[in-house]
Structure formats: C-alpha cells, structure tokens
Chains A and B, each alone.
Chain A
C-alpha cells in the first residue's frame, strides 16, 4: 500500500531555518495527511488537507496541495532540534475503506 514518493529522502538543516518536504502520489484522493515519527517511535498526526483545499496552516506547519500535479509540500518554519524526525505523507483514496497509501518518508535532521 505504498505508492507515494517523497523528496528529499533526507534533509539536514541548521536550527532556525525552514524545512520543506515534498510528496507525490498517483491516484485521486479524498485527503492527504502528514505524520511525524521520531526514531523507533509511533506516528504523530500533524495535519490533514482535503482534496478541495489548497493550503493549510497549523502553528509552524504549512501544507500545500496541488491535485493537478498530484503533489503536496510540508513546510516547517523556524525549525527546532525537536523537529528532528522522519516525516511521512499518506493519502486516502476514494473507496479505500480507510486504507492509507504511504510515502517513503523524509528524514529531517535539525543541527543545533
């Protein structure tokens, strides 16, 4: 159930800088979700954007969705060391019975 691609695979930036991660998918969707996973831990739901939305904000997070290009981006502004984690996008296609399609993930490292 993995069909998405994320880039970059890994990203290392200085604390305070902005981090941008991209996700592409292949089918139509009801919504797209972003999750964070700290090393060896469970998933934390960050934000959900519906197919009829183009941009959404939550704190330091900004998500965009371009359904014509089947792509999404996650921007984390003013990054902190605690943002170091892997970030995954997941899409919810129609008629999927809630099965999510996962991207490969981006490993983000914030250097102090």
Chain B
C-alpha cells in the first residue's frame, strides 16, 4: 500500500519556539492532505485540509496564524506550530489522498509526530 511518512516522529521544544512537521507521500502524489491533532485518550480532531497549490482550509476554532500549513508540492505538506506553548503539546497526524483518486476510499495515514512543549 501507499506510504506516508512524517518527520520528526517526536520533538521537544521550549515554549515560544516554532516547530515544523513534515508529511510526505513516498510513492504517490497527493493533491489533498489532512492534518489532525490527537490529545491523550481522545479521538482525532481535524485541524485543516491542505490542498496543493492553494491555501489550506481550517476547521472552526483552529488558528490559521498559529498553525501554518504549506502544501508546496504533490508529495509534501508542512505544518508549522508557531510560538508553541505547552497546551499545543499533542500528537499530530497527517493523511494523504492520492491524486489519482482513492481505491476503496482509503486515506493513507502518517505515523504521527509527538510534540512536547516545555
């Protein structure tokens, strides 16, 4: 099956710094990627939809100036958490939709990035 990677897998940073998380589709092109946040023992919460070559669409309550999303190519989307604070500590997961459509409507998920803000 198609593979999606995320980098880094985990990151610890000081409060006030910015952190960039990459989501890459390794063997397919993805016109759409989704970014999720997951707090401990909770379900996934969609943050934004990232479309290649256009601005991301953010879900209600998600600050677009704090969570910057760039989808500059068909294989890479980045999420930058700006001026991170401890409450931003979470597990961030991306998923990718193949440019040639979905087989069985299956999205492909990255392994997630654990962000800890001290």
Query: A27 contacts the other chain (Cβ, under 8 Å)?
Result: no
Residues of A within 8 A of B102 (CB): 98
Query: A1 contacts the other chain (Cβ, under 8 Å)?
Result: yes
Contact between B112 and A41, CB atoms less than 8 A apart: yes
What size tier do the contact residues of chain B reach? 20 to 34
Contact between A41 and B104, CB atoms less than 8 A apart: no
Closest to B108 in A: A45
Residues of B within 8 A of A97 (CB): 32, 49
Query: A43 contacts the other chain (Cβ, under 8 Å)?
Result: yes
Chain B CB within 10 Å, residue with most, of A42, A97, A103: A42
What size tier do the contact residues of chain A reach? 20 to 34
Contact between B97 and A98, CB atoms less than 8 A apart: yes
Q: Which of B41, B104, B109 contacts A42 (CB 8 A)?
A: B109
Residues of A within 8 A of B54 (CB): none
Contact between A48 and B43, CB atoms less than 8 A apart: no
A45 to B34, CA, bound (A): 16
Residues of B within 8 A of A88 (CB): 43-44
Question: What is the distance, in angstroms, from A2's C-beta to the closest C-beta of chain B?
Answer: 5
A98 to B111, CA, bound (A): 19
Query: B107 contacts the other chain (Cβ, under 8 Å)?
Result: yes
A1 to B36, CA, bound (A): 10
Query: A21 contacts the other chain (Cβ, under 8 Å)?
Result: no
Closest to B32 in A: A98
CB within 8 Å of B: which residues of A?
1-2, 30-31, 33, 35, 40-43, 45, 48, 88, 92, 97-100, 102-105, 107
